[in-house]
A and B are shown apart, each in its own frame.
Chain A
């Protein structure tokens, strides 16, 4: 798994590549928690290059979302595809978060 962040005007875009599984989810969660600690309030997760996510990754996302919510921040998602999109749908994450086709659309919504 690789995480690349890009600071935008109203949010930080976090692009995740590869797999978020039980092996990589602690690093994923730590990476996002560090951004929140630095004061980021709106995280836009770009999952265009994310191939796979398991319940360990969903648990990390929920934990981070709870932290952000308590600070009145939020998490948006863009570019979900294939298996990742399916897992979001099955586990009800589609109704928990705002999800956009592309990062451009997500940025426009802010």
Chain B
């Protein structure tokens, strides 16, 4: 397992994101998959930098470890105010520039880019967990895909 802890500030964003992409590359993930995981990490980290410590300062701790053959578990932890990003409502995706609201896309992109995302409040910590695999589709769909490919092969 590798980990890094830095103050939750936007100027540390690049270093934190690079830590996550370094883990993905280390596991042999493709550049495009690494890029998607980087994006999910940025979205979660920016939220913490901006909102977790109102009027104060605190840290972000990142932990990455491999799980099974090719999955990576990424944990993003802060000790800020309780906040479950997964409770956010769906973003406004209306095709109308004038009316469309700007917010909510960050969480939406996280959900699209990682295979699984979980939140837990652990004593005084927010812990957001990403489970990622070398392909973007949800882990369940991956099994489905494997089954359907097998089906096609035998047909």
Contacts and interface: CB of A to CB of B under 8 A. Distances in A.
25 contacts: A21-B13, A21-B17, A21-B42, A22-B46, A23-B13, A52-B39, A54-B42, A55-B109, A59-B102, A59-B103, A69-B97, A70-B98, A82-B35, A83-B32, A83-B35, A83-B36, A87-B39, A87-B109, A90-B108, A90-B112, A91-B93, A91-B105, A91-B108, A92-B94, A96-B97
A62 B93 CA distance: 12
Interface in A83-99: 83, 86-87, 90-92, 95-97
B43 A62 contact: no
A23 B14 contact: yes
Secondary structure class of chain B's binding surface, majority of residues: helix
B32 A22 contact: no
Contact of B100 (A21, A55, A96): A96
B68 to A, nearest CB: 26
A69 B13 contact: no
A21 B45 CA distance: 12
Contacts of B94: 92
A21 B46 CA distance: 10
B54 interface: no
Interface of B: 10-11, 13-14, 17, 32, 35-36, 38-39, 42-43, 46, 49, 91, 93-98, 100, 102-103, 105-106, 108-109, 112
B109 A83 contact: no
A59 B105 contact: yes
